Amino acid sequence: MPRIPQLTDEERTVALGAVPLWRLSDDATGISRGFMFKDFVEAFSFMTQVALLAERADHHPEWSNVYGRVDIRLTTHDANGLSMRDIALAQEIDALLG
Ligand SMILES: C[C@H](O)[C@H](O)[C@H]1CNC2=NC(N)=NC(=O)C2=N1
């Protein structure tokens, strides 16, 4: 039994309006966004900041990094899908970039 509720279709529609730069996956289980930085140092600095946010929220991204590129997918394992925790972390990540 999942401990965190998935969003209903209606809740999801409203919530996605708060994170317009994130794309809902085709199966609606998560959201993703790609980030480009000028080099690896900038990308990894960003990842370090995201890691601290994630640890504080006890909510961790699925991500990959290639040089200056960072791809992040947010999904809630404890909900087997998208939850408000993903939306909240996406907003915090967006805020890092000003
Ligand atoms: C025990 C611990 O609180 C849980 O496993 C947390 C940790 N980080 C998590 N991260 C994500 N993305 N989804 C989760 O359900 C989740 N659960």
User: ipTM of this model?
Assistant: 0.96
How large is the average pLDDT for residues 42-53?
98
Determine if ligand 1 sits within 6 Å of the CB of residue 76. Answer: yes
* Tokens found for residue 74: 């947010």
Confidence of residue 3 (pLDDT cuts 50, 70, 90): confident
- What is the percent of the chain where pLDDT is above 90? 95
First to last CA, the chain: 38
Gap from CA of 60 to ligand 1 centroid (Å): 6
Instruction: Tell whether the model's pLDDT for residue 52 goes beyond 80.
Output: yes
**CA–CA gap between residue 68 and residue 86 (Å, rounded):** 23
Gap from CA of 48 to ligand 1 centroid (Å): 18
Confidence of residue 1 (pLDDT cuts 50, 70, 90): low
Where do the domains of the chain lie, and which CATH numbers do they carry? Answer: 9-96 (3.30.1360.20)
What pTM was computed for the model?
0.96
